[in-house]
Structure 1
Amino acid sequence: MPDAATAIQQRNLETAALVRQGRYDEALALAGKTMQSAIDTLGVDHPYTLVSINNLGYLHQVQGRLAEAEPLYIRAFEARMRTLGADHPDTLLSVNNLAALYREQSRFAEAEPLNLRALEARERMLGPEHPDTLTSVNNLALLYSAQGRFAEAESLYVRALEARERTLGAEHPDTLNSVNNLAYLYQAQGRLAEAESHFLRALEARERTLGAEHPDTLLSLNNLAALYGAQGRLFEAEPLYLRAMAARERTLGADHPLTLSSVNNLATLYDWQGRAEAEMLYLRALEARERTLGADHPDTLMSVNNLGYLYVLQGRLDEAEPLYLRALEARERTLGAEHPNTLSSVNNLAYLYQRRGRFAEAEPLYRRALETSDRLRGTQHPLTVVYAGNFTRSLLRGDAPAAAIRPARLLVQGLRRRQRASE
C-alpha cells in the first residue's frame, strides 16, 4: 500500500519536526495516532510502523516517562530483530535507544552490553570510522562517563574526535559534538583549563559555520557560561547566559524547553550572586514548565528542586520542605529510586532536615544517597565523594548517638580506603 505507507512516513517526519520545535504534547498526540494508523493500515511489523513506535517511545523518554518508553523500545527492537535481522541499521538504532534509556535510569549493567553490541556490529558491518560506528563509540563513552569511569570514557571520546576530524573535517557538526563531549568530561574531572579550551573551540567554530543563533552555537554559549560559573567567574558567565536566553526567546519562543533552560541557568547564576532576580526567574521557569511539559517532567522537577534550594539558602525552610518532598516523590515514581536526580533529591531533603535539627531523619537519607551512589558509580565518582562528605559532616554537626556515629564513620572510612587502594 504505497499511498498509505507514504502518508504514515510523512506523519513520522512531522512528529520529528514537532520534537525539534519542543512541541512535545503535539508530537505525542501525533505519534500515538500515527502508530495506531500504521498498525491498522500497514501491519504491526512494517518498518514505518516500527518508526512510529520508536517515536512514541522517544517522546515518553524525553518527557520523563521512562517506564512507558521501555516497552515501546523493546517492542520496536524485537520486531526489527525478527523482520530485519540483528545487524540491520534499524535494529542497531533500537539497540542504541534502549541502551540510552537504561543509562538514563542508571541501569548501567543492562546498558553496557547493548552499547557494546551496537559498537561491535557497526565496526564489523560499516568499518571503524563510519559515522554510525563513531556514534556508538560516543555512546559508550557517555555510559562510562556517567559511571565515573573517566579514563575509559576519555579514550573513547578521543578516538571519536580524532576519527571525525580525519574523516569529516575539523568543523563538521559531529566533530564539534565530540569536542564538546570531551570538554564535559574534563569539567567533570576538574580539568578546567582543558575544558575551557575545548568549549571555546566548539563555540568559535559553531559561530563561524552555523551562525550566531544556531541551537548548537547557543548550547556552546551555555556550556562556557556554566564552566565560568562553576569557576566563580560570574561576571564572565552572565553576558553569555543573557545572550543565549535572548537568542532562544527570539528564535524559539518564550516557552521552548531550551529557552526555559536558559531562564533556569540565569536564575542559578543570580542565586549564586545573592540577587533577588533569581526567585522571579525560577518561578517563571517552573510555571512555564508545568504548563508546557507537565508536573512530573524532569525539567519541571528540576525547577521545583531549584526553587526549594533557593528557599533553603534564604532560610525559608517551611517553604522549601514541600518543594523538596514533591521533587523526591515524583522522581522516585517517574525515574526510579536510584536515578541520579532522585539521589540528588534524597541528599537535598537530608540537608534540609539537618538544617532543621531533625538529625534522625537526615541520617538515613544521607546514608541512602551515599550507599546507592557507591554501588552504582563507585567510590571515586564525584557524586559519591560529595555524598560521603555530606554524610560525615551531618554526623559531626548533629546530636546523633555514638551507636549511630561509629558504623557511619566505618562506612565512610571503608569507602576512603577503597578509593586509595584503586588510585
Structure 2
Amino acid sequence: METRKTKLGVDHPSTLTSMANLASTYQNQGRWEEAKQLEVQVMETRMTKLGVDHPSTLTSMANLASTYRNQGRWEEAEQLFIQVIDTSKTKLGVDHPSTLTSMANLALTYRNQGRWEKAEQLFIQVMETSKTKLGVDHPKQLEVQVMETRMTKLGVDHPNAEQLELQVMETRKMKLGVDHPDTLTSMANLAFTWESIGQHAKGINLLQICVIKQRRVLGPTHPLTISNDSTLLEWQTTHLAIKA
C-alpha cells in the first residue's frame, strides 16, 4: 500500500485496492476502528473519482457499513446499507449477488436492533431470490439466519428451542468458524436458552466461553461484549447466592 501511494498516487485504483485489502485484514482481526478509518478513505476517494453509483464505490460503502455493524453502530450501518441497496437495485439489479449480500447484512442489522419482523422478512426475501438465481444449496446460511431470527422473536419457550439453537451454533461453527461474530452470537443465544430452562451451569459455562472470545474478537467495549459480560456476572452472582 505504501509503495503504491508513492509510485502511483493515493487515489490510484491499485492503491485503493491495497487499502481495501488491508482494511479487510483489520476486519478479520477485529480491529474495527483501524478498518473503519481506511474504509472511509477508500469510499470517499472512490466517490470522488468514480461516482457514488460505481460498483467499486458501492463495495466500499458496503464494507464500511459492515464495519459499523460490527462496532455496534447500528443506525449508521442501517443508513449506509439502505443507500447501497437502493443504488445497487438500480445499477446492478434486485437479484445481483452484491445487492442480495447488502440486503442480508441489513437484515442482520435489523436483528441486532431487535427489529425481528423486518429482519425476518428481509432474510426470507433474500433467501427466496438466492434459491432462484443461485440454486437451492446456496442460501443455507440464510436459512440458518431466518431460523435464528424466528427463534429470538418467539422466545426460548418455543418448542424445540434448545435443539434449534444447537443446530444454528454448530452450523455456524462449521461454515464460518468458531470465532466468527455470528457464531459467537449463536453461542450466547444457546447460553440464554439453557439459563432460561434451568440448566444454569451449562448456560454460565457457555456464556463465559463466548464472552472471552468476544473480548478478543469484538473488543471489550463492543455493545455485545459489554451486554454479555454484564449478564454473565449477574448469573454468576445470582447462582452463587442461591448456593450459599
TM-score range, shorter chain: 0.7 to 0.9
The structure 1 residue matched to 2:86, chosen from 193, 198, 204, is 204
What TM-score, normalized by structure 2, do the two folds share? 0.76
- CA deviation after TM superposition for structure 1 residue 346, in Å: 5.5
The structure 1 residue matched to 2:170, chosen from 309, 322, 327, is 327
Letter in 1 for 2:113: Q
CA distance in 2, matches of 1:219, 1:143: 19
Instruction: Note the alpha carbon deviations across 1:171-213, whole angstroms, 9 max, x for none.
Output: 1111101111222233334433332321122112111111222
State the partner residue of 1:261: 141
Structure 1 segments unaligned to the other structure (5+ residues): 1-118, 275-309, 404-423
Tell me, yes or no, if structure 1 residue 155 matches structure 2 residue 37: yes
Residues 331 and 341 in structure 1, CA contact (< 8 A), matched pair in contact too: no
CA distance in 2, matches of 1:124, 1:210: 34
Residues 144 and 153 in structure 1, CA contact (< 8 A), matched pair in contact too: yes
The structure 2 residue matched to 1:217, chosen from 99, 108, 111, is 99
Letter in 2 for 1:264: V
The structure 1 residue matched to 2:235, chosen from 385, 389, 394, is 394
- CA deviation after TM superposition for structure 1 residue 158, in Å: 0.8
SS at match of 2:90: helix
CA distance in 2, matches of 1:233, 1:342: 20
Instruction: Note the alpha carbon deviations across 1:333-377, whole angstroms, 9 max, x for none.
Output: x946x5656655654565455445454555444434333443555
Residues 39 and 64 in structure 2, CA contact (< 8 A), matched pair in contact too: yes
CA spacing shift, 1:165–1:228, aligned 2, 3 Å: same
Number of residue pairs aligned between Structure 1 and Structure 2: 243
Letter in 1 for 2:225: T
The structure 1 residue matched to 2:16, chosen from 134, 142, 156, is 134
State the partner residue of 2:215: 374
Letter in 1 for 2:80: H
Residues 164 and 174 in structure 1, CA contact (< 8 A), matched pair in contact too: yes
CA distance in 1, matches of 2:162, 2:103: 36
What TM-score, normalized by structure 1, do the two folds share? 0.48
Letter in 1 for 2:239: G
CA distance in 2, matches of 1:269, 1:318: 14
Off by >6 Å, runs of 4+ in structure 1: 400-403
Residues 238 and 266 in structure 1, CA contact (< 8 A), matched pair in contact too: yes
The structure 1 residue matched to 2:151, chosen from 262, 266, 271, is 271
Residues 72 and 222 in structure 2, CA contact (< 8 A), matched pair in contact too: no
Instruction: Select the structure with the greater relative contact order (CA < 8 A; seq sep ≥ 6).
Output: 2
CA distance in 2, matches of 1:265, 1:398: 32
CA spacing shift, 1:387–1:146, aligned 2, 3 Å: farther
After superposition, where does 1:27-176 map in structure 2 within 5 Å?
A: 119-147=1-29, 149-176=31-58
Residues 30 and 217 in structure 2, CA contact (< 8 A), matched pair in contact too: no
CA distance in 2, matches of 1:230, 1:127: 39
CA spacing shift, 1:384–1:143, aligned 2, 3 Å: farther
CA distance in 2, matches of 1:376, 1:223: 19
Residues 207 and 232 in structure 2, CA contact (< 8 A), matched pair in contact too: yes
Residues 147 and 378 in structure 1, CA contact (< 8 A), matched pair in contact too: no
CA distance in 2, matches of 1:376, 1:122: 30
- CA deviation after TM superposition for structure 1 residue 251, in Å: 1.5
The structure 2 residue matched to 1:182, chosen from 56, 64, 76, is 64
Q: In angstroms, what is the RMSD of aligned CA positions?
A: 3.7
Letter in 1 for 2:228: Y
Task: Report which of the two structures shows the higher radius of gyration computed on alpha carbons.
Answer: 1
CA distance in 1, matches of 2:166, 2:158: 15
Structure 2 segments unaligned to the other structure (5+ residues): none
CA distance in 2, matches of 1:262, 1:159: 31
